[in-house]
């Protein structure tokens, strides 16, 4: 349809540098399997149950804000 506006697609350029630096080893950002316009968090190998990550950097958000 000619009246449809283009859909913005999230890219790695949209991700703050501190987020990229803070990703755990073997975790990457790739296009989401749920929403192709967004990035999703993907593991490049199995993560054992109970594995802890952190410390996290950034602002804590309520579910309604994301």
| Residue 4, pLDDT score | 66
- What is the DSSP track for 22-33? TPPTTEEEEE-S
pLDDT digits (tens, 9 = 90+) for 14-63: 998 888 888 888 899 999 999 999 999 999 999 999 988 777 767 788 88
Q: Which of 58, 57, 23 is nearest to 43 (CA)?
A: 23
Alpha carbon distance 8, 6 (integer Å): 6
Residue carrying structure tokens 């993560």: 47
pLDDT at position 37, please?
94
Pair 19, 58: CB distance under 8 Å: yes
**For the whole model, what pTM was predicted?**
0.63
64 three-state secondary structure: helix
């Amino acid at each position: 349809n000619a009246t449809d506006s283009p859909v913005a697609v999230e890219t790695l350029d949209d991700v703050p540098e501190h987020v990229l630096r803070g990703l755990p080893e073997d975790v990457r950002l790739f296009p989401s399997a749920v929403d192709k316009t967004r990035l999703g968090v993907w593991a490049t190998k199995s993560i054992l149950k109970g594995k802890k990550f952190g410390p996290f950097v950034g602002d804590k958000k309520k579910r309604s804000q994301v």
